[in-house]
Chain A
Amino acid sequence: MSEGATPTRGARLAELLDARFMASLDRLDITSRKILQGKLKGERQTKRRGQGVEFADHRQYVPGDDVRFVDWNIYGRLDQLFMKMFLEEQDLSLHILIDSSASTAFGEPSKHKYLRRLAAALAYVGLVNNNRVGLCTFADGLTGRLLNMRGRRYLGAMAEFLLNAPADGVTHFEKACRQWVSGRMGAGVTVVLSDFLFKEGYEAGLKRLIGDRYELCVIHVLSPQERAPDLAGDLALVDAEDADVSEVTISGALLKQYQRNLSAWCGGLREFCVRHDATYVLTDSAQPADRLVLEHLRRHRLLG
């Protein structure tokens, strides 16, 4: 990442996030319930400044210890070797999986753009707070990834990656999750941004994402047209991904049934998430992305 490229990347970032939004994001950080409940209670150290370390305890030196951490002051007074023990630095990873299948290209406003804005906001928070941030786009498997970013200097790269993310291809969620989990390390938060309109179902994929060290957050984005279709007449509905044709004659009853099915689908997803201790947020692309991030995600304690 050369510094020379930064101004343009900054400009690219501005395409996704405006200045005010970024300013409000600056105050936030990624939180993880799992880490709070982990072995270092109450604290999650961040590396704000160089190698700022915090002393925790002493213990007796045993051969083999790193001599760099011997407390020579105590040795001078007591003539005994004690080791300085520091707080373990919790390195939080934020992984964002972004649906980039053809179905996200739909909607007015576009789901695709909305997904990328959300991803950018979350990644921004992660990068600003020096968390390890990884972005993946998936469709039929993972289609692109940008891993191991840390610090503001990656903002431009992040924006570039998101802006270049395509929106085509069929979805194969389970495959994507499989691929991704195999390369995942550390602990942190996994955020899945998708419309979850997967013909194969979402359960198998999500189950792979659930683990002890990773907290899962599911953000379900639908377009207003999907929540309340404005269709009429005898239509042949063509699936954007697999070109499957469904002949329907729009009627009041059909629309009602569609609504019923949609809420059942969303309800099923929510229930799945609750059961597996994941966060579930349903939104639609007409909602302002900043409002979702600043209000809903904070309420769901994804950000704090």
Chain B
Amino acid sequence: MDWISPYTALVAGAVAVPALVLLYFLKLKRRQVPVSSTLLWKRAVQDLQVNAPLRLPRKNILLLLQLLALLALLVALGRPVLSLDTSPPRRVVLLIDQSASMRATDVAPTRLAEAKRQAREVVESLRAGSGWFAGSRSDEAMVIAFAGTSRVLCNYTADKVQLAAAIDSIEETDGETLLSDAVAVARAYATPAGTEDKNRSAETPARLELFSDGRIADLDRVIVAPGELNFHAIGRTADNVAIVALQARRSFENPEALSVFVDVANYGAEAVACEVQLAIDGNVRSVEAVTVLPRSAGKPGHTVVSFVLSHAGAGVLEARVLRPDALAADNNAWAVLAPAKALAVLLVTEGNPALRSALKSCAPARLDAIKPAEFDRIYAAQGALELSYDLVVLDRHDAVPPLSGGPSAGRAPDRLPRGNYLVFGRPPAASGARAEGELKDQWIVDWRSRHPVLNFVNLDNVLVARANRLVLPRDATVLAEFGDSPAIAEVRRQGGVMILVGFDVLQSSWPFDAGFVMFCCNVVNYIGREAAEGQAPGLKVGQPLSVRGAPGVRQATVTTPDGAAVRVEGSPSGAVRYAATSRAGVYRLAVEGGADHLFAVNLLDAAESDIGAAHELVFSGQKVKAEEGGPARANQEIWPLLALLGLLVVYVEWYVYNAKVRL
């Protein structure tokens, strides 16, 4: 046992003990009681004094007890500590894993709760600032919670209440586990700028206390010095069945047919029979019983379950493994089935009534027509600026001379804004295709009638008077052919789709064919589906939701899977982003004055689902073993016990004073 402030106690004792004894020797003010005769009392007192084997009057016992109580309080004042640690003050960084795997319930109630408990213990073991005489500084700690991202919840402080509050504020997330950020942040805070303090020299680097289950994805990117990091392993079992992949695809040919693939992984050592349920908008559509193979050779067993459903419209698809296990977060996965989108179409033409009326009949959300020169002025010069139209129809754009006397007159622009295009005539250079020479009086001889664009389109009787001979890039898909040249092709560029039609429709008989309107509508639908799929991708936890709204949109509301509504400000360009996707589930983003957007945010992380706790971490070759047992408690002060003892002694003294039968 050591003392933190012995002199305080000595000074107080030097004052208090003589004062107590002095008080004791002061004449006791006795209550006067008249009695008939003091004869017998006097004798009794005398006899008692003579006969008492131990001459210890009760008053002395009271004094003794009072002294004992005072002593206990004085000792408490001296602040005795058990296992005094006089090393320089430490700085501790509490790194607390809040990733999805920490939601596992193999440690009651959850791993995260256990981690928080252990972290609080570490906080409790911090040495507080010493008394008036010792003059040493207290230990400090900071709290960082990390999952996919790291957050500093509390900067270096010795305030245990603040630290405990910071630890308590850590919530479960469904994120992955990335430690490197957290370590980098911890080191950045370790040497605060402008701090000139000998006690905080580089000789006492901050100690990292890592509370995790050891499923850390980026261990090889973290370098720690030996002894710098203490690893508190949390968690036991590895038994977990998880959905690690979910894909919903519409059939290429039949958009109503929906194929869903669910990859179920088993991280346990035994084969697991379970049921996988598929629901759309909360209505269960299919349940399939599967047996997932056990883990073998360190790799989890996988089983892919595929469902084929018929569902044309939009909806939220939810796959669920119907088996309770330690980690519930990875038993669900969601996918958003987007509806075909009503498109905003920009028709760039010198004037083409046939095309215009055909597009109009496809019921786009908006159909604007501008001249090619105007289009160039607005967009082409600005290069990769994004379009606010879902589909741009370039009709005979090559017929327009370039604005500045460029080298190639009558050529489509080199660069196009990103987007989806339907090009009639010479293909733009951005498509990677080019036109070499001209063909005359061509019949379309073959076409892929099963492609969505050419669905129900008959090209049998289409005569093209003048056409470009298309030379396509290798990844292009030919949809229709003349005798010796592609007539219609599909190219995917810059995340968009380009449908290249190698001729001017006005130079062909196609506008007089019903198939032309059908073709236009197919393109619009196809592009619309593509656009919808591109708009609602499956997101992983932690990835931001992002919606390209109309310019001027300022406000949006995000409804999280828990049902909480969050207001989000849009950027001036109309983009709305929401980054706090810490939980898996379906997020609904409602743009003010616009449509709702659904986002499926999924865990779908094999590393997180593998919840078997590691008891050794390998950081770039540096092995760190898990700490056994809880944190050692240094500097345990025992003054509360002593104060309690003093109180008890005072009680005993009071009892002795009052009790009728004594000694």
Contacts and interface: CB of A to CB of B under 8 A. Distances in A.
Given A249-B59, A251-B663, A252-B660, A240 B35 contact: yes
Contacts, number: 99
B37 A199 contact: yes
B662 A252 contact: yes
Interface stretch (B38-46, B231-239, B275-283): B38-46
Contacts of A262: 40
Listed from nearest, the 6 A-B pairs whose CB atoms lie closest are: A197-B37, A106-B36, A103-B36, A236-B30, A246-B38, A257-B44
Interface in A249-272: 249, 251-254, 257-258, 260-262, 265
B58 interface: yes
Contact of B48 (A236, A241, A253): A253
Contacts of B33: 231, 235-238
Nearest to A111: B36
B486 to A, nearest CB: 119
Interface in A129-180: none
Interface of B: 28, 30-45, 47-48, 51-52, 57-59, 660-663
Contact of A249 (B38, B42, B43, B57): B57
Interface string A58-95: 00000000000000000000000000000000000000
A235 B36 CA distance: 15
A257 B38 CA distance: 14
Q: How many interface residues does chain A have, given as a range?
A: 35 or more
B36 A104 contact: yes
B36 A236 contact: no
Contacts of A104: 36
A106 B31 contact: no
A290 interface: no
27 contacts: A111-B36, A195-B37, A199-B39, A231-B33, A234-B28, A234-B30, A235-B30, A235-B31, A235-B33, A237-B33, A237-B34, A239-B38, A241-B37, A245-B32, A245-B38, A246-B41, A248-B41, A248-B44, A248-B45, A251-B663, A252-B661, A253-B48, A257-B47, A258-B41, A258-B44, A260-B44, A265-B40
A232 B39 contact: no
Contact of A251 (B30, B47, B51, B662): B662
Contacts of B51: 257
A10 interface: no
B30 A258 contact: no
A31 interface: no
If over half of A's interface residues share one DSSP class (helix, strand or loop), that class is named, otherwise mixed; here it is mixed
Contacts of B31: 233-236
Given A234-B31, A249-B57, A251-B662, A239 B37 contact: yes
Nearest to A258: B44
A233 to B, nearest CB: 6
Contacts of B57: 249
Most buried by A among B33, B40, B52: B40
Contact of B58 (A231, A251, A260): A251
Most buried by B among A103, A235, A237, A249: A237
Contacts of B59: 234, 249
A221 to B, nearest CB: 11
A258 B46 CA distance: 10
B32 A236 contact: yes
B35 A106 contact: yes
A254 to B, nearest CB: 6
A257 B52 CA distance: 11
A32 interface: no
A217 to B, nearest CB: 22
Given A106-B34, A238-B38, A239-B38, 15 more contacts: A195-B36, A197-B37, A198-B39, A223-B36, A234-B30, A235-B31, A235-B33, A236-B32, A236-B33, A245-B32, A246-B38, A249-B57, A251-B58, A252-B663, A262-B40
A237 B660 contact: no
A254 B51 CA distance: 11
